[in-house]
Structures are given as structure tokens and as C-alpha cells.
Structure 1
Amino acid sequence: MSKKPRSKPEVPMSGRIWKVPVWLAVAAVFGFVVVSLVSYNGADAPGHVTWPQNDTPANWGGPVGAATAYTLLRLLGWAVLIPIVFAAAALVQTGWKRRLDHPLLRFFGVVLVSAGIAGLFAVLRPQGGLLPGLPGGTLGLLIAETLMIPRFGSVGSVLWLGLVGLIGMVVAADRLMFALPRLIWRGLVPAAATTRTVAAAATEATREGSRGVFARFIARLKRRRTKVEEVRLNDIDDPIEVAVTPRSKRRVTVVPVPRRIEAEPLDEMEDDDDEAVAQNDDDAEDDDLPGAPQVFDREKLKEKIAALNVRFSGSEKSSATDEDLEDIQNAIELEGYRFPGLDLLEEPEEGFNDTLESLVREQAESLESALQQYRINGEVVDIESGPVITLFHVRLAPGTKVAQLNTISSDLARSLRAVNIRIVSNIEGRDTVGIEVPNPNKEKVRLKELMSNRDLFASMKLPMFLGKDAAGDPLITDLTKMPHMLIAGTTGSGKSVCMNTIIMSFLYTKKPNELKLVLVDPKMVEMSQFRDIPHLMCPVVTEMHKAAAILEWACQKMDERYELLAEAGCRDITAYNNLEWEELKERFNPRSEQEEAKIPRKLPYMVFIIDELADLMMTNKEVESSIIRIAQKARAVGIHLILATQRPQANVVTGLIKSNMPCRITFKVASNLDSRVVLDQRGGELLLGQGDMLYLSPQSHKVMRAQGTLVDDLEIRRVVKFMKSIAAPSFERQLVQLRSAAEGSDEDRILQSQNNSSASLAAAQEDPMFDRAVEIVLETKRGSVSLLQRRLAIGYTRASRLIDLMGIAGIIGDHKGSVAREVMITPEEWVEIKRMAGELAAVQGGQLFPTQDSAEHPDGGDEHPESGDIDDEDDDFARTSRQDSASDEG
């Protein structure tokens, strides 16, 4: 028969219930027909061969059996044996739970064979048969006397009827017919079998397929006497153990015997275990490999699991001391400043691992039993128990695919009585597969415990004590190595606690002159408790339009720092801060004490922590360009971003933002789509919440599961209260003025922007195209960035900056998505504004809005006809402005 597919479709329960009774009924009918034919008696009615007829039928099937046998013999004669044989073969095949493929085609083949054989009997022996004159039955007589002999004669009829019978045999049993020539050839030419190698014989056996229904039946009987099987119930804790024979003993060895024609398992439809019959003897070594199928014994399994080494997180817990933080806290001296004491933090938990060992060993037994139940050959070889999950290292048998574990992950979770499990397909440095199972109780990871690992963070510039990984090892990273971070997670997943942990890490390791913070908290409750720490550059920002202006300011500060580093001949902020004061003066070469005072001795790190990135992106679409610029360039100058969102969608975490945020943390998210946006893989939706996270490091590019550090509100209040008593925050003047400009009323927005927003006015004076840009906007009545790009032939950043300056000055309205900003004044009002600005500038001794001449000569209009070198004077002006800003940082 033709080859069947290896995969067997799952039969519904109702189909399995009805299949056995139907098969039994058909088998009973078949047996009755065979018994009736075997016990046929010509004297039984309705037969006409002998007279008188028997009063009581001698047939073993009674009157019905006698009538059945007479009818079949009268119809087919001796050819009745053909359908009987094929029916028996079909019953045997379906009885072994093998699907009968193409049943209608097989039935048609049996009809052809029966007709051909019946016709041959009628032609060759016209007077034979149990019924005189009907050796082939009425069917054979009709075919021979009516169709064949009058047209083809006796010899021609034999040839044509033999061809019909042969075609019918091929249709009904193609494999048997194709295998017969090979069997005959092997019997006639024994040398072909003796010279064949073992590997060639195995390959040939796999290729030739089945030798027929009866060959498969005999081979299966032989195999089932010694086959290793393990029958289990749904409860994996109480398996039914059956006598087992090792796999190597099931192997049929190909022996070079001249007449080796016994039936062997050559059916290509067999399972993977049956395919191993055709492999060479070298495969017998697989039984000794790690992870190979083993005999399941409950007691032996318990003994094996009990011998495994279970590694627990924090087996020897310790609390940090002042000496642990001594090296990193004394980097730069600051007179009168003291760090908060470690006694303000909570002590780590004790006794967490006391009851966990027995539980994880039971889970290991259940896991290995479940793998055997679902026919996956693997064994647990190592156990690592972390604060929230336990990682079981499973070594799979050779040839077993990890995809099989992913398919039954939900079933394994149910067997282990877990909410869900996570499959780690590849563990670096090991040949095992990881299965992460949640612990019934979670360990609280405390900040004080992580600070005791002095060797891990002593050399870090901006250490962050994020938590513990799945194995219980401390997860401490340096933000300067990231250099930016993206945090995603739903409400209650631990995202806000993670940001609080990062801030607390900075407060315990960095002084205010080493680190400056900007906190953006639109919820007004998450980070507002840090409003009194001395590290802040401005009050906690709660309005998103102010956050957009701050990011624009950060871009300007980044450019200024790059100019400073270029003049100092340094590649990054670390090289600049390592320079001594004398060397700094030598490189800058100040010409006066005033210029020397403007040289910053040290450049502090700047960290912008922004919560609710989605709200920021919706408020101001142009903020994406600021984020991308900072993410791409700000690492060398010590400016870092930490962005957080609870909606990690593709329109929020865009491709450019994600590509420039190599360090990403995902807490529990709503769906696997959100997880793919952040991590480029699923898994975030399977987390447990409450600090359970996936951490992607830019150094390893491997996702690591961890438990975040818990810093509660009580600890934060203690630390902030202490720091408030030590020092007050010193805000950045430009950032405060940006806030006041944004908060101005409609009535006096122009005058306040001129008098109070020095940062925006300085930017307007530096750009000679500001006046022309305003004229274009008033002429077209559209405040559009792309319009200025086309009309002035400038880049996006400069055009966006001009538009923002016009918005601060009240010339155009607020940002409204993709629509151009509304023009708020007329050209006549703009002329009046410039006139008033000129009068105010005359009083203050400067210019607020430059004219064309002043734009060409920013030093007050002095011309230099001798050299005509405007670029040198522009550089002097930029250097002076940069040094003013740098002195603010110092």
C-alpha cells in the first residue's frame, strides 16, 4: 500500500469510543462468513447439487450460513477467496490502529482481482468448482462466455484476464507487489545479500518500505514481545510501570545470510523508534549518552534528584557597611556633605531558603515525570533557585528539539501546579535547556544587601543596584556603560519601584557636584518625594510641555559640552575630569582671571529620568528628535536618559528610539506584542509582576530574568529627610527660566519671554535667521517646521528651534499634533514688538531681536574691513557663551 504520513491526527474521544464496537461487529460478520464457507455442504438448501436436500442444514452457520455460502460461491466460485483474504488483511491493519488509506481505491482493486480470477477459472476449468459448471461463479461464466472467448479466444482471454488480475493486485496491494521482485531476487542471488554492508542494508531497508500487510503483522508481533514502553495515567505521580527492554535489544541487526527473507520492520510509516531499526550498530552508543531515555523508576528518580546540587540565592546573606561604599563615595570631595547612613535602609530577609529545598526537589521530580509522560527524553541535571523563580537545567536526549518543550509549556505548567513557566532554549556556556518555574513565595531583594558586594561596583561611575538574577546573583550595572535605559511595564509590575531604586542608588554613591538629576513625573506622586534632594537641577517636572523644552535644552547643553571637550583635547567626560587644574589652565590658556573662573574644574554627569514616555510623545511629536539626538551622541559628554512607559507600543517606542536604547528592562506587559516591541522577543507577558523582570544588557545581548530591588516609601522618606538636612537643591538657572516662560500668561507672554527667558533670547540673538523666519511665518500664516526648512534651506533641528522660540515669544500658538501652529499676531504687531524691543534694548544696553547688520557683526556692529574674517569673531562669541554656561555647571 502507499506510504502514509507519519503524523497521526488526534482522534476525538467520541470517535475512539465508537471505533472499537464497529470493528468488533465487522470482525464478527467476517468470521461468520468464513465459517459458513468452510462448512459449505451441497445438500443444504438452497443448493441444487445434491438431492434430496438436508432437512437440517449441516452448515455451521445454520440456514443463514448455508444461504450465505451458496450465494457467494454461485457469484464468484473459487474466486471468493480473493475478497476473503483482502478483508482479513484490512481487519488486521485497522485492528492495529493503523489507518487504511484510499479504501475506495483498494476496494476497486479487489473487484478487479476477483473478476480476473473468476474469469480465469471459467476459461481454464469450465466444468470444475464446488457448483458444477461454475468454477468462477456466474460472474466468471459471464466474463468468459460472453465477453472474452468470443472475441479473443481461450489463449487471448487468459492473457487479458491475467493482466486485469495483475492490475487489480497492484491497486489493492501495491507495496506487496513491488516488494515481491526484490524478495525473489534475494532468494535467487544470495551473493547480493552477503556482499552488502550493514549501512547499505539499512539504507535499502528504509527505502523499500513495507513488504505487505502480513509482513508488517508478523514484524509487529515480534517487536511487541520485547518493546520498551511505559504506560502512564493522567496523574504523573502514579505511573503504571511495564517491563522494559533496552533500546539496543530492540535493534534488528542485518546479518549477511544468503536466504534472509524473514519479515522485518521495513514500514516507512512507523514511528521514530521503528526507524532506528534500519540504523547501523554505531547508534547503540546513544543509550550511554547523557539525557538518553531511561527506565522510569519512582525510587530511583527520587534518589537521583536527591543527589543533585541545589544552588540557592543568598545562602549567606550580608548587609552593607560603610567600608563597602567608601571607595566610590570619596571620588570627589565636597566640603560639608555627608552621605545617608546605611541604617536608614531595611535589613535583608533571613530564613527564606529553609523550606524551599524540599519543594524544589519535588518540583524536579514532577518535571522529569512530566517530560516522560509527554514522551520527551530529558533529565534534570542542575537546579538554581532564585528569589522568585527556580531554574531547572534539563539535558535533552540527542535529536530532541527544544520546540517540543515550547509546544507543551502550558501542560508542564499544569503538571507543576505553576501559573506559567518560561523555556530558555539556549543557556550560554551549557548544553542544557532552562525551565523557569515560579516559587510559591517571593524573596524581597533589599538595597542594603546588594550594596555589600563591594567588588562588583567599586569601579563603576554610576552604579545601579537593580536586583538579583534567576540564579540569585546580584544584578548591578553601570549606567555609563549602557548608556541609556528603557523601562516598560504595566501598572503594579514594579516599574516605578525600579526608578526609585535607581535614584536611591545614585544618592548613596554620588555627591551633588558629581551628578545632576532631572525628574519628569506627570503622575505627580511617583518621584515627587525626591523634590528636596540636592542633586536636582530643577524642581520635579509634572507638565509634559516643560519636559519637551528641557530635552531641547539638554541637546544644546550636549553641543556645548562637545565644544568644551574639543577645546580641552579630551575624548569624553572621564578624560576631562581626570585632568588636574594646572593642566586644564594650560589647555584653555585663559587671558584673564575672569576667563579662568569660567573654566569648569569638573563636569558632573546629567541623568534625565522621564516617566510616561507615551504621554510625552503625544504631547509633543517633535520630542522624538531630541531623544534620538541625546541617545546617539550624549554618552561621551556624560548625559544619560532613563525612559519609562507602561504602553510599549510601536508608535511610542519607535525604531530609532529602541535602536539607541540597548539597555532595556521589561516588567510584566499586557501581551507578547508589547514584549516584542521592547525585547524583540516574547516573554514579558509571562512574568509574575511585583518586580519580576527581563533585563537586556548591551554587553551580552541575552535576555536575563531577575527580581527587582524593593525600596519602600519608608526608606525613601528616611533618606530624603536626611539629605534635606545636609544640603538644599541648587537649581540650574536656565531650566528655571524655561519653566517660567512656559508658565507665562497670554497677556504678557512677549514681555516676559524677553525679560525672563534668557536662554531663548540668547538663542534668538545667536541665530541671524530668526527675523526672516518670523516674516515667513507671518506671511504664510503657518507655523510649520517643514515650511522653514524649504524656504530657508536649513536643517530640521534649526527650523524646529526657531519654531520653539516663536512659540515662547507668543508669535505662534501651542503645538497641535501634525497640524501647523496657529499664528497669534499680525505683521503690524510684529513691527510694533520689534520697536518696543529696540527701546528696551537701548535701556538695557543690548539687542533683543537682531537686525541684518547686527547679525553679521555680533560683537556690536564693529566692522573689520582689513580681514573680513567673520567666522573668528563668531567663534569668540560662541566660546564666551559656552564658558558662561560651563561656569554655571562648575
Structure 2
Amino acid sequence: MITEGSTAVRLSARAARAGAESSPASRRPVKARPAARAKPSEPTEPDAPTPGLRIRQLLWVGGAIAWALVLLSLLSYSAADAPSASIAPHNNPPANWVGTLGALIAHFSYLYFGLGAWVLVALGGVLLGVTATGRRATHLPVRILGALLMAAAVAGLQALALPTSGPVSGLGGGLVGTVGVSRLMPGLNVIGTLVVLLAALWIGALVALDVWALIAAMWTGRFIVAAGRTGGRAAIAAAQAARHRRSAAALAQTRENDIDDDRPDAALPARPRRARRDEAAADEAEMLETMGGGAPAASVGAIDEDSDESDVDTMDDSAPAPGGPKVFDPEQLRAKIAKLPVRFATQTRRSATEDDLRDIQNSSDMEGYRFPGVDLLEEPEGNYSATMEVFVREQAEALERAIKEYGIEGEVVGVESGPVITLFELRLAPGTKVSQLQAIASDVARSLKAVNIRIVSNMAGRDTVGVEVPNAHKEKVRLKELMTKSEFYGSMRLPMFLGKDASGEPLIADLAAMPHLLIAGTTGSGKSVCMNTVIMSFLYTKKPNELKLVLVDPKMVELSQFKDIPHLMCPVVTEMAKAAAILEWAVTKMDERYELLAEAGCRDISSYNDLTWDEVKERLNLQTPEEEARVPRKLPYMVFVIDELADLMMTNKEVEQSIVRIAQKARAVGIHLILATQRPQANVVTGLIKSNMPARISFKVASGMDSRIVLDQKGGELLLGQGDMLYLSPRSSKLTRAQGTLVDDKEIRRVVKFMREVASPTFERQLLQLRPGAGNGPSEDEARDGLQAAQQDPLFDKAVEIVVESKRGSVSMLQRRLAIGYTRSSRLVEAMWQAGIVGDHKGTVDRDVLISQEEWQAMKAQAAADAAAAGEEAVDPDIAEKLRAAQVSVNATGSAAGGIEDEADALESEDDDGEEEDDDDAPFDVQLRQPRDRVS
């Protein structure tokens, strides 16, 4: 049987030979006189056996005694011994060599398995022989099942060939064979039954012996033919050639070639014949050991005794090389790894309830608003760490073995298992450089059967080196688990549930403390999912009057699913020119907020929001209601999420100035940026942008240069993708390896649907009327007045719908589509320019259309609400207030103006019937739907 222990011993032997051949002593030039042979090294004192090894030795002795008793019992079986029923009276005392116990063992063995009992005895002897050499039989329960299957197949063959003969009279093959054949014969007949039994015997041999019988037979045939033709030495050479054809280049040959290339040919001595003989003998021993032959040591000794000693030997090849890898004991390594502590996140993580989440959600008052429940999210996976312990310990053993094979001394002293990767703490021997380990990283990854590994050279507060190895199976990190089973910090103002770190602990960051975030990664690496996770974190922890969002999505598919959430300040922006104008508006808003904080005597947005309304009026000296209406009671946080920074930078190079100004100054006033790109190049993520965004997340990138641009160091190119990321905290230069939170589209749809039923978004009028690139366009008041005046024309709404749908601001097109004259058509286009719907005149080229269909619907709804508030369409304040609550959401289809007018007629009819409600004139921040309570 091929075991892990035998493989490790053979690898160690080859490595030792390679070190001996490549050592300086073995390459010493040949002198004229024969050199004296070096004295063999004194045998070292063997290490004391470990307790586990001592227990295994005792178990082996007990097993050998039991096997010998069973063997003697079967050999001395007598049909006249009790409890046999074929002969009476019984022998007294029993004739069996083992006495009554032996008679019982032999009787029941033959009764159930017939001659198949000898298969079990033979396989038991093989097992004892394998374990006697210090090796371990892997997967022992499976091999036992294979042995039972072989015994049953042999019993069936005996029952098929000799149904009446056997140790037990009338039961050839025992009960197992007789019953099995009787069940197979009616359906398969003799030939079919024979095929099934032979197949069972074959499968049992594969499972029990772990060798392919066909390959073993071919090797045996080759060995016999070669031995018959040229003798034993030719057979060994043939076996050695076959082994070299199947294996890769040996480590010893590689090292020898590397050294030979740096030396002149004349300085290298010829290889001693003794070394060649020893290598051939070792290859023969390995071949015989693999085929289950005799003792390899005896064969090697026989060949060595028949050989002549070389006169030019300069060194005893049997001594280990001074610079070669250490030959280690696989049993001691396995015993040490078994005691190694493995740390899983479930052992230290606190399990909390939804009360922690509720504490953050109730941070400010907003009557009538309800947060989505965690039941809308997907359930997390079960106890993942229990299935990983066996794999982690095997990887630790393989890692330590691999580095020693490459000549680096070290041991694994700690393990931290995470959702995707496992961090092994490796303590290197004194004088070993980390660069030596980094140089063989790809070779170690191949030995561990991993895609790649990452070396963490600097682990703060520890004298160890970290080796991050991918797990065999990935764990999906769910948002629900992080929100309900994480240790919450109520001081976080904008919490983001990013995922789990390498040790499995939740990774939660505060955007307000960052204060900006840069995300980079290739397509499919998890960048868009991370942005969805950030937005979902805000929706679960912040109310619309606490947080306002601006989403920029040039792909039109990533962030558009959030178009109905009440936190939006404007519809999802898909045009980069409009996004550049929004960032310029954000700079203006930042300056306005700083002026307000300066007048109120506050340092930041938190201190301003902590003030009561009376304190605000006192500090700002507000005297009239008009002055109070111009000052906000609370300042909400503003977060600008831009999905693709590269498209924005290519559209307008001047946008870098707006980004840098916001990144430098906007933290105190609560304005934050989240920039994402899949092309982290120097002309996209410039030095000014990167220096003002200390918090960065890198998913898998294309090259080490891209990783340096994002993280200032390599590592991003070695990530696994699908959420595997490196997080750079603004408070530390240490990278954190983590697995990002997975938020499915169906989770987002459920949450957005819930929020759509609770409230609808109220857009910022200034953002709706922004005119990209129009420095001399109409002001905000002029645009609002122009829209209200233009809507007096009954064709204006229809003309705008035609222009927005066709994306062409053309006078001649309106002439044809509406069948009107040039004068009226040009007047309609001029009114659209005045309202901020189309751009400036470009001569013979069509005007640019600056808004989308959703933005047009929002502009009409806002204009109708303003008109209702001014009393132009409904003089009763109750009608005006209900009109504001009836504004349509941005995803409304068709003409919204008609819906507003119908609602106004219905409300006027209700007012005529005498239905009145008390209301005040407080401004609206968001339109609630269920329940219909107003928000101040």
C-alpha cells in the first residue's frame, strides 16, 4: 500500500542525496593521488519517542498477537470441535491449537466466509507489515470495507465453483457466498454471476490495497521479463527508467545544473561510481517498496557488497550533506501538527440579537418611517469551521514539509482559519531571510495544490511570517450574519458591513471616519457587489433625513436597482457630463455648509446636529420665519457613489479638481466619496486623489503595478477573485485580507420593494436643473419660473416627452412631430433651455438633452408641488399639503402632470364635502406612504 509516510521518506532521501552531490566537498577536483575516504559520521542519538508513537507501538503488538491467534485457529480447524454440528460427539479437549477460543474463531469464520476468511487474514498481515515499517495506512475504515468486499467475493466464487465442499459441510463459500450466489443466479445465470463476483473482487482490491491491479501486473511483467533477459541489475534499471518517465525533473538534478552553470567544466570532477551505485540501489529499493516487494535494505546491501570501491572517492555519500535539507520524521511532524491550536472565528465571536441593530436605527427621530427587517436577507451558512479542521491540519503538515524540502528550516506555530483563506504562522530558523521564502512561493503553492499563496512578511507584534493559503471550499459571507451576530459599535455614524477578515472576524468600517473610500478590481472580482453591500448597510442603519445618496452608474445596470429608495437626492446618474456637474455642485454645497458651521460656532456636522432648534436660532440670530425657513434644522450626511472613475476622468479632466477639493475638506461637513474603478492606472487614480483617500479596498487586479497604485504595495494580483479583497485602513498601513459580503440581487429587490412601500424619494431641485458645461445658463429661480411659464402651453409637456425620448433638441423635429410652425417650435425649445431641459444653441447641430425620462417626471412633480404650495392651483393649504404627499416616484411611466391634476380635482371634491384636517407648513424631507404621517 502506498502511504503518505513512505512518500515523505523517499522525498527526504532524494533531497539528502541532492544536497550531498551539490555540496562543495563532492565537487572537489581530483588529485593525482587517491584521496582517503572520509570517516563515516557518528550515529546521532535517536529522539525520544512521543506518547502517541508509544501508543501506536503498543497497539501494533496487540494486533500482531491477535492476528497470530486467528491464523493458528484457521490452520488447526477441526470439524469435530465444538460448536460444529456436522460431527458428534465433539473433541474434548478441542483439537484446535488455540483451544476453545480458536475452535470458535475458526468455526464462525468458515461458517460465514468459507475460504474468504483467508483473504481477511492475508490483508491483516499486509497491514501489520506496513505499520511495522513506521508508516500509516490512510483511510483505514474505507480499506476495511474493501477487505470485506474481497472476502465476500472470494466466498461467492467458492460457492459458485464448489457449492458443497469446504471446511463447513454443505456450505461451500459460507453463508455469505451461498446466499449471495443464490440471489444472483436466477437473474444473471452462471456467466453473469461470475462477472459480478470478479468485478466485486477487483473493486475490493482497489479500495483495500489502493493500487491499480492492471498497472501492478504490467510492472510485474516488465520486471520478470527484464530479469530473465539481463539479470537483476537490468531489471532495476528498467524500473528506474519507468519511474523517471512519470515524474518531473528531480530536485537534485535541478540544483546540480544550477551550480554547474556557474563553474568551468574543467573544475568539476567526474561523478564517483560509488555515488552512482548508491543512487541505483536507492531507486531499486524505492521500486521494490512501491510494488510491495522484499526488504529494500537487503537488496541495497547485496548490490553494494558486490561492487568495487572507487579510488577517487573524496567523501562518504552515506553521510548527510551539511547544507542539504533536514531529513525529518513524518510521524513526529504529524504528532506535532495534531497538537497545533487552530483558531476559528466561531470560538470567539459574540452572538448578539437584533437589539444591537435597533439601537443604531433609533439614533434619530423620524415618525412613520420603518427600517427593513433582517428577515428580507438570506440566511448565513451553518457551522463552517467544523468541516475545515481536518483540511487545515493537513495543509499545515504539507506546508512545513514543503519548505523543508526546499532547504528552509521552519515550523508552523499557529493557524487562523477564515472564510476563504487560512493564515499559517511560520517561525523561521534564525538567520533565514523572508526573501528566501518568497522566492519559492510558487513552488510551495504547487506542493500545497493551491492556485497561489501570499507571504505576509511583517506581522505586527510577532516574530513569525504569515502564509495565506486558499481553502478548498469558500464560505459565503452574508449581510444578515454580520448585522445580527457581530459586535456592534453604536458610535459608528456610517457603518459598512464589508465582510470577514482572514481569521473569520467581522470587518465593519465607519465611512465617516475614513472619510472617503477607493475601490478597485477587475471585472468579476466583487467590486460591484461591495458597492451594493455598502448601500445596503446604509439603508439598514440610516433614515432618509440622516443620509442622502447620489449614485453615478455609467453602466446603467449596477446601481439602477436602487432607483426607488427614499435616500436619493436625484435619479441615478448615467451621463458622465452630468456627474461632473454634480461634483461641482457638491463643492458649492460644501462651502455653504462650512459657512453655516462657522456662523453656528460648530466644528463639524455632528456638533451641529447635536444642537437643539432653539440653540440654532439663538446662535444664528434668526428673527423671522423666512430666515428660519432658509436654515436646515439638521444636516444629513451626503455620500456620492461613483461606479466607474475612469469614465468620469476621461469625460472631463477638470473633475479631478472637484474630487480633490471634496476629499480634502468635506469630512467635517459630512460629505463623503466612494470611488470605484476597474482600471487603477496612474492617469485615473492620480497622486492627488490617492493621497487624499487613505481608505482603500483592492479586489483582484491584473498586475502588481495596478496593486501598487491602489495599495502602494503588491498583493492585489494574487487574490482569488469573487469577493477576496485587501483592505487598507486609514489608521494603519497594515493590509487586512478579507472576504467581501455577498448581497444577491433578490435581496436587493426585496429591500427596495419594502422601502418603496414605506416612502418615495424627494429630489434636490438644484440637481435636477443642473446644466453640464453651461456657465452662462439661467439661474435656479429663472429655471423654475421658466418651467412654470412654459407649462402654460398645452403642447409643452408633449414636446418635452418627444425631445427626451429622441435625445434630440431639434426645432425642425418638433415642427414635424407636432405639426406646428417654426416660431412656436423654436419658442418651445427656448422654453426647454430656460427650464434646464436642453443645452445651449450649437448652430446647425441639435441641442444636447440634459435630463432623462425619470428626471422629467420628477421635475413635473416638483413643479406641481411648488405650485400647490404657492396656492396657484389649490388655494386651500390642506389641498396643497396632500398634493405634496401625492408626488409620483421616479419610476412612474406616462404623463405625471395629468395624474397630479386628477389628484387635485379629487382632493378639491373632498374639500367641498367638508373634509378638513389640521396641518402645519413645515417643509418636507421625504414623502411617506405607509403610514401617511408627515416628517418635520
TM-score normalised by L of structure 2? 0.51
Render the CA deviation track for 1:822-852: whole Å, top value 9, x for unaligned. 9xxxxxxxxxxxxxxxxxxxxxxxxxxxxxx
Whether the 8 Å contact between 1:340 and 1:508 is mirrored in structure 2 is yes
1:444 aligns with 2:438: no
Which of 481, 495, 500 aligns to 2:527? It is 495
Counterpart in the other structure of 1:504: 536
Matching residue within 324, 333, 336 for 2:356 = 324
Question: 1: CA distance between counterparts of 2:720 and 2:345?
Answer: 18
* Partner residue of 1:730 out of 751, 762, 768: 762
| SS across alignment from 1:383 | strand
Deviation digits for residues 447-473 of structure 1, max 9, x if unmatched? 111112554332100000000000111
Aligned to 1:311: 343
CA-to-aligned-CA distance 1:297-346 (integer Å, 9 cap, x gap): 11110110000111123358887643121111111110100000110011
Q: What's 1:589 paired with?
A: 621
Report what 1:430 is aligned to: 462
| 3-state SS of 1:456 partner | coil
The match for 2:423 among 384, 391, 394 is: 391
Return the match for 1:532 from 564, 587, 597.
564
Shift of the alpha carbon at 1:508? 0.3
Local SS of the residue matching 1:350: coil
Secondary structure class of the residue paired with 1:451: helix
Corresponding residue for residue 163 of structure 1: none
| Equivalent residues of 1:806, 1:812 under 8 A apart | no
Deviations for 1:603-649, whole angstroms, at most 9, x for unmatched residues? 00000000110000001111000000000000000000000000000
Per-residue CA shift, 1:177-198, capped at 9, x if unaligned?
xxxxxxxxxxxxxxxxxxxxxx
Shift of 1:713: 0.5
- Which of 361, 377, 389 in structure 2 is aligned with 1:345? 377
Q: Are 1:554 and 2:581 an aligned pair? A: no
Task: Find the counterpart in structure 2 of residue 654 from structure 1.
Answer: 686
Residue equivalent to 2:488: 456
Q: Deviations over 1:788-826 (max 9, x none)?
A: xxxxxxxxxxxxxxxxx9999737899xxxxxxx9xxxx
**C-alpha distance in structure 1 between counterparts of 2:764 and 2:446, whole Å:** 57
Q: 1:312 to 1:22 in 2, by over 3 A?
A: closer
Evaluate the alpha carbon distance shift between residue 725 and residue 808 of structure 1 in structure 2; reply closer, same or farther with a 3 A threshold.
closer
| Distance across 1 between alignment mates of 2:595 and 2:449 | 61
Shift of 1:601: 1.2
Per-residue deviation, 1:582: 1.6
CA drift at 1:753: 8.8
Question: Does 2:447 align with 1:420?
Answer: no
- Name the amino acid aligned to 2:684: V
2:840 matches 1:810: yes
Q: After superposition, where does 1:4-403 map in structure 2 within 5 Å?
A: 296-315=328-347, 321-403=353-435
Instruction: From 567, 573, 579, give the equivalent of 1:541.
Output: 573
CA deviation digits over 1:425-484, x for unaligned, max 9? 011121110000000100000111111255433210000000000011110000011000
1:756 partnered with 2:788: no
DSSP 3-state at the match of 2:757: helix
Question: Which amino acid in 2 is paired with 1:810?
Answer: D
Summarize deviations over 1:251-291 as a string: whole Å, max 9, x none: xxxxxxxxxxxxxx9xxxxx99689xxxxxxxxxxxxxxxx
Q: Distance in 1 between matches of 2:732 and 2:286?
A: 43
1:101: how far off?
Answer: 7.7
Residues 320 and 342 in structure 1, CA contact (< 8 A), matched pair in contact too? no
Kindly indicate whether residue 503 of structure 2 is the aligned counterpart of residue 471 of structure 1: yes
In structure 2, do the counterparts of structure 1 residues 520 and 320 end up closer, same or farther at CA, with 3 Å as the change threshold? farther
Q: Distance in 2 between matches of 1:530 and 1:233?
A: 66
SS at match of 1:685: helix
2:766 and 2:780 in contact (8 A); partners too: no
The alpha-carbon deviation at position 21 of structure 1 amounts to 15
8 Å CA contact retained: 2:454, 2:467: yes
Structure index of larger Rg: 1
575-584 or 410-419, which moves further after superposition? 575-584
Counterpart amino acid of residue 373 in structure 2: G
Residues 1:614 and 1:501: Cα distance change in structure 2 (over 3 Å)? same
Structure 1 counterpart of 2:783, which letter?
Answer: N
Q: Report the Cα distance in structure 2 between the residues aligned to 1:653 and 1:581, rounded to whole angstroms.
A: 42
Alpha-carbon distance between aligned partners in 2 of 1:806 and 1:332, rounded to the nearest angstrom: 36
Distance 1:22 1:413 in 2: 32
> Does the CA contact (< 8 Å) of 1:631 and 1:660 recur in 2?
yes
The CA distance in 2 between the partners of 1:354 and 1:396, in whole Å, is 29
Q: For residues 83-113 of structure 1, what are the alpha-carbon distances to aligned partners after superposition, in whole Å with 9 as ceiling and x for unaligned?
A: xxxxxxxxxxx9xx99998899x9xxxxxxx
Q: Per-residue deviation at 1:397?
A: 1.0
Contact kept in structure 2, 1:493 and 1:690, CA below 8 Å: yes
Q: Is the contact made by 2:649 and 2:655 (CA closer than 8 Å) also made in structure 1? A: yes
Change (3 A) 1:297 1:731: same
Aligned to 1:7: none
Q: 1:729 to 1:479 in 2, by over 3 A?
A: same
Letter in 2 for 1:726: V
Shift of 1:755: 3.9
C-alpha distance in 1 between matches for 2:924 and 2:441: 60
CA distance in 2 between counterparts of 1:410 and 1:379 reads 19
Match of 1:756, as an amino acid? A
Alpha-carbon distance between aligned partners in 2 of 1:660 and 1:440, rounded to the nearest angstrom:
38
Change (3 A) 1:372 1:571: same
Alpha-carbon distance in structure 2 between the residues aligned to 1:756 and 1:483: 34
- Is the Cα–Cα contact under 8 Å of residues 580 and 772 in structure 2 kept in the other structure? no
Q: 1:722 to 1:809 in 2, by over 3 A?
A: closer
Matched AA of 1:514: E
Cα contact 1:631–1:641 (8 A) shared by 2: yes
Q: Looking at both structures, which has the greater relative contact order when contacts are Cα pairs under 8 Å and sequence separation is at least 6?
A: 2
Q: Which amino acid aligns with 2:581?
A: A
Please provide the CA RMSD for this pair: 4.3
Residue aligned with 1:552, SS: helix
| 2: CA distance, partners of 1:462 / 1:315 | 28
Q: Is the 8 A contact 1:346 1:448 kept in 2?
A: yes
Output the CA distance in 2 between the equivalents of 1:597 and 1:418.
Answer: 64
CA distance 1:567–1:415, change in 2 (3 Å): same
- Is residue 581–residue 773 contact of structure 2 (8 Å, CA) maintained in 1? no
**For structure 1, which runs of at least 5 residues remain unmatched after alignment?**
1-12, 32-93, 107-212, 218-231, 243-264, 266-270, 276-292, 761-804, 815-821, 823-885
Q: How many residues align?
A: 518
Q: Residue 700 in 1 paired to residue 732 in 2?
A: yes
CA distance in 2, matches of 1:569, 1:415: 64
Question: What is the alpha-carbon distance in structure 1 between the residues aligned to residue 672 and residue 786 of structure 2?
Answer: 22
- What residue in structure 1 maps to residue 317 of structure 2? none
Q: What corresponds to 1:60 in structure 2?
A: none
User: Secondary structure, in 3 states, of the residue corresponding to 1:354?
Assistant: helix
- Could you tell me whether the CA contact under 8 Å between 2:350 and 2:486 is conserved in 1? no
Q: CA deviation at 1:599?
A: 2.1
Shift of 1:353: 2.3
Aligned equivalents of 1:734 and 1:233: distance in 2? 82
- Alignment CA distance shift 1:743-1:484 (3 Å): closer
Q: Distance in 1 between matches of 2:786 and 2:420?
A: 50
Unaligned ranges ≥5, structure 2: 1-17, 35-255, 273-284, 291-295, 298-313, 315-319, 788-834, 849-922, 927-935
The answer to whether the 8 A contact 2:545-2:925 is kept is no
Task: State the percentage of identical aligned residues.
Answer: 67
Separation in structure 1 between the aligned mates of residue 762 and residue 527 of structure 2, nearest angstrom: 28
CA distance in 2 between counterparts of 1:631 and 1:21 reads 65
